[in-house]
Amino acid sequence: MDRRETLSAAGRVFLKEAFACPVANSYGASEFLSLAFECSLGVLHLNSDWAILEPVDAQGRAVPAGHAGTTTLLTNLANHLQPVIRYDLGDRVRLLDAPCGCGSHLPVIEVHGRDDDTLCLAAGVGMPAVRVVPLAVSTVLEEEAGLFDFQLVQQGPRELLLKTRGQGQKMQRTLRKARAALAAFLETQGAKGVRIECRAGESTQCGRSGKFRRVISLNAKPDDAC
């Protein structure tokens, strides 16, 4: 796993079945290639001998242990040529106090990945807008449609664009399944009549930092803004 996305349970199963081999998770970044590794119990341990991670809120203040910050600051203790001190990774990470059952003394972390946009969709007349977090979107598309390479862009109060770089008839079938699964899920959340356009073979947008984001809102909010 790199900083762009987390390794979900569905993703782990997909990779294990596709390659017929065990899947080991790790966490790294261009600024520090091996930030954390997975132990025998499937838990991520921070390489704290060589790196410092600080989960912080939107104002850059430290958050208590056990809480995920808005972003995370990285200090690389191993790079003497180009010091990296409190670099903003843009990831949401949670540092845990409890020791791991594997016996390692290195800190346990949970990586929630890039903090993508929350969808803000129009509901029925007189109803408040519906907020849908990125993790819920990813879970539906991965587990119910088997779509892993995607970007979902909110273009209006009831307009979504679902695109993927994949091509071919198999991908078209996957997109149709993904659209049906996502539409059904959104309706259960109270967002009715959402139009979902699907496109295959499309390039994906990156943020101003050049980092990939799976869920993007173009700030088109319904009347009852979130």
Please tell me the predicted confidence (pLDDT) of residue 224.
46
Q: Cα–Cα distance between 168 and 132 in angstroms, integer?
A: 30
Q: Where in the chain is the domain with CATH 3.30.300?
A: 119-217
Report the CATH number of the 119-217 domain. Answer: 3.30.300
A 10 A CB-CB count for 140 gives: 19
* Joined tokens for residue 183: 């539409």
Chain CA centroid to CA 191, Å: 22
Task: For residue 186, report the phi and psi dihedrals to the nearest 5 degrees.
Answer: -60, -35
Task: List alpha helices for the chain, DSSP H.
Answer: 9-19, 134-145, 169-188
- State pTM to two decimals: 0.58
Which residue from 138, 94, 115, 143 is spatially nearest to 213, judged by alpha carbons? 115
Please tell me the predicted confidence (pLDDT) of residue 141.
94
Which residue from 2, 5, 1 is spatially nearest to 116, judged by alpha carbons? 5
Q: What is the dihedral of CA 115, 154, 213, 176, to 10 degrees?
A: 120
Please tell me the predicted confidence (pLDDT) of residue 180.
96
Average pLDDT per consecutive 10 residues, the chain (226 residues; last block may be shorter): 58 86 86 90 93 92 89 91 88 90 94 78 82 87 91 94 93 95 94 93 65 74 51
Please tell me the predicted confidence (pLDDT) of residue 112.
77
Q: Please, what is the angle between helix 134-145 and helix 9-19, to 10°?
A: 30
DSSP code of residue 19 = H
Give Cβ neighbours of residue 145 (< 8 Å, ≥ 6 apart): 174, 177, 178, 181, 182
